[in-house]
Amino acid sequence: MTDMPGFNDPVEDFAQLDASDALQVAQGSARDMRKLLNIAAAMATVAALYFGKEVLVPITLAVILSFVLSPIVNALQKLRLPRAPAAVLAVIATLATFGLVGTLIGSQAAALSSDAPQYVRTIEGKIQNIQGYAVLKLAALTKASGTGVRSGNPPRIGESVGQLTGRQPAKADAQGARRPVPVEIQAAPPTPTEIAGRVLSPVVGPLETAFIVLVVAIFILIQREDLRDRVIRLFGSADLHRTTIALDDAGQRLSKYFLSQFVVNTSFGVVIGVGLWLIGIPSPAMWGILAGLLRFVPYIGSFMAALAPMALAAAISPGWEMTVFVALLFLGVDMLTGYVVEPLLYGHSTGLSPISVIVAAIFWAWLWGPVGLILSTPLTLCFVVLGRHIKAFEFFDVLLGDRPALTPVETFYQRILADNADDALAQAENMLGDRPLDEYYDTVIVQSLRMAAQDMARGTIDRARAAKLTRLMLSVIEDLRLFQGDSGAGSTLPRQALKPGRIVCVSGRGPFDGALTKMFVQLLEGAGLEVRVVAYEQVARESIAALEPDGLAAIALIGLNPAGATAPIRHLARRLRMHAPQSRIVVGLWNEQSPDLDDPEWKRSIGADEYIVSLRQGTERLLASPDDKTIFAPGIPAPARHSLIVPQGATT
């Protein structure tokens, strides 16, 4: 085959591809395929939930009911009652409770119906008053527009409408006019079977669902341990510890949620019933029970419960004062319950964010209707617990949970990247309420500096962007100077332990070393030490002579040192040792993953007195007397004059 100029054989071109490029392409294709499969699986799951709701809704209700009745079954078992009779007895007790509630509501409704004719007359009078008021207003408007309506007695509705529209009511037929003969078609009287079918057809479906729910709930309660083992085998038999924790967490959260809901809604119904009794509404017990039951419906339950008492108040009272009192009662009790009682009782126990509760209610109501609206919170809670303990479902916890989506380090770095120093400062002030300043520096800002250094090493940010990030961090650090009195480092040390003399901090050459040095100097000055900052260029070979060694208590080398890039520090430490032999030299190895931390020979070759990996540790060591007993890492022999300082909780 003859090669054409400027063209190559495609086979040869493919063979010349770098192996790493081919691997990256394959990995990218695999990731895209996984995303497509996840999207397809999610769509298939939603479709299955929608089209299978006739089967899934009773099963879900049975599972929820089993969580509610499980404490009762456990209590009966403690009384030496076997599990099967205990489960059946718990279900029977539940049915009896609902029966008593239904009987009470029925008796109250029957007593209320006896006064219905009087209420109808009151409502008709109010409707006539409203109609008359509307007609008078309409007549006044038409008179003002020039149509004209005679004064005197208020016209009736038909006459007023005729005057406005120009049409007169149809007059009666003339005498002698021939009227049509009415013809009536009467259907055959219904049979008893048809009557029974009409009466029972609306309740057959709910009764069937209730029967299925009760039967399935009984079997779930009886076979609870066996079902638990099967769920563990299905979701995580390879990690029994994590799966067991997930199931226990879900059970505890659901049980606490249902118990809290029961207590809150029962109290809501009692307060509403007492308030309606004081206002004078008939059958207050019935309305209180209905209010407590309807409040299990999220968001709209309280408003639904208020409609009937408000209508009844309008029916029994000639005026509107009683209706207003009922509306204010429901509004006040609902706001008190929602904004005070519920946050105090179980505001953060469910682990759901407020927006996730709203979105879940919309989603499940669209999927399963009113039943889905009632079950939206417990179902969403199960998904959040699943995502909190199983890695594959972690996105549920991120999207729906109440835990912060980003760590404090990621949050601070993101605010700095977004040029939002005010939010970064606000986050710092919130966190400094329960921790000292040096701990916040070490756990948040230093880690953010490392993330910025890693982004710069990858080429994500350039030097100009890095300089801007440094300026923002320096402004935040300067504003946090007010909190340095809360720093735990050195604040508990006696003043006589402070070594006299100056301390020199040599800042590294990296773009973020200035911010790190700023924090260290701020902590030292807050402890009462005299500190001077020296740039890296000022201790170079040609300019180190300008550094006056007399009176120097210590020299600290501060900089973010990436792993494998500590050679400049080694040369600088040796140079400073030769220039100021009487000063303590402290080297900061802020990268705890540096292999040099595990190399005692490397530490001896540098010639420094101490090695620190945190600002708090460095501040404490410079505040302490140099004659203090040195802390050595396990397995590393102490050198003749140098020491290795290891922070609490760190291993070397």
Residue range 258-286, pLDDT digits in tens:
878 888 899 999 999 999 999 989 888 89
The C-alpha atoms of residue 313 and residue 322 are separated, in whole angstroms, by 6
pLDDT higher than threshold 60 for residue 192: yes
The C-alpha atoms of residue 451 and residue 460 are separated, in whole angstroms, by 11
The pLDDT of residue 301 is 84
pLDDT higher than threshold 80 for residue 416: yes
Planar angle of CA 411, 416, 418, nearest 5 degrees: 95
Measured between alpha carbons, how far is residue 485 from residues 212, 482, 641 in Å? 66, 7, 34
- Backbone phi, psi, residue 434, to 5°: -130, 20
493 against 560, higher pLDDT: 560
602 against 102, higher pLDDT: 102
Place of tokens 């109501």: 365
pLDDT higher than threshold 60 for residue 491: no
Per-residue pLDDT, averaged over 314-334, amounts to 88
The pLDDT of residue 562 is 55
The C-alpha atoms of residue 171 and residue 161 are separated, in whole angstroms, by 16
The pLDDT of residue 474 is 92
- As a whole number, the mean pLDDT across the chain is 76
pLDDT band at 496 (very low <50, low <70, confident <90, very high): very low
Report helix, strand or coil for 169: coil
Per-residue pLDDT, averaged over 390-415, amounts to 85
CATH of domain 495-652: 3.40.50.280
The pLDDT of residue 510 is 82
**Environment class of 552 (CB within 10 Å of its CB; exposed 0-12, middle 13-18, buried 19+):** buried
Planar angle of CA 93, 94, 100, nearest 5 degrees: 85
* Strand segments (E) across 165-293: none
Per-residue pLDDT, averaged over 309-336, amounts to 88
The percentage of residues in the chain with a pLDDT greater than 70, rounded to a whole number, is: 75
Measured between alpha carbons, how far is residue 430 from residues 174, 437, 473, 474, 480 in Å? 90, 12, 17, 19, 12
pLDDT higher than threshold 60 for residue 642: no
Which of 75-84, 170-179, 200-209 shows the lowest per-residue confidence on average (mean pLDDT)? 170-179
Q: Which residues contact 541 (CB under 8 A, 6 or more apart)?
A: 575
The pLDDT of residue 629 is 37
Q: Give the torsion through C-alpha atoms of 386, 387, 388, 389, to 10 deg.
A: 60
The pLDDT of residue 326 is 94
pLDDT band at 628 (very low <50, low <70, confident <90, very high): very low
Give the tokens for residue 542.
């040609």
The pLDDT of residue 1 is 44
Planar angle of CA 340, 341, 345, nearest 5 degrees: 120
Give the tokens for residue 389.
């303990």
The pLDDT of residue 468 is 92
Are 461 and 452 spatial neighbours (Cβ–Cβ below 8 Å)?
A: yes
pLDDT band at 16 (very low <50, low <70, confident <90, very high): very low
pTM score = 0.63
Per-residue pLDDT, averaged over 458-474, amounts to 90
Per-residue pLDDT, averaged over 386-409, amounts to 82
Which range is most confident: 190-204, 503-517, 578-592, 604-618?
503-517
Are 615 and 442 spatial neighbours (Cβ–Cβ below 8 Å)?
A: yes
| pLDDT tens digits, 204-263 | 777 888 889 999 999 999 988 888 888 777 766 667 777 777 777 777 777 777 878 888
Domains of the chain by residue range: 27-139+206-222, 405-488, 495-652
Measured between alpha carbons, how far is residue 651 from residues 564, 619, 633, 634, 645 in Å? 19, 20, 8, 9, 11
Number of Cβ atoms within 10 Å of the Cβ of 625: 10
Helices (H) and strands (E) in the chain, counts: 25, 5
366 against 540, higher pLDDT: 366
Q: Which residues contact 138 (CB under 8 A, 6 or more apart)?
A: 160, 164
| pLDDT tens digits, 31-68 | 778 878 878 888 998 899 999 988 899 999 998 888 88
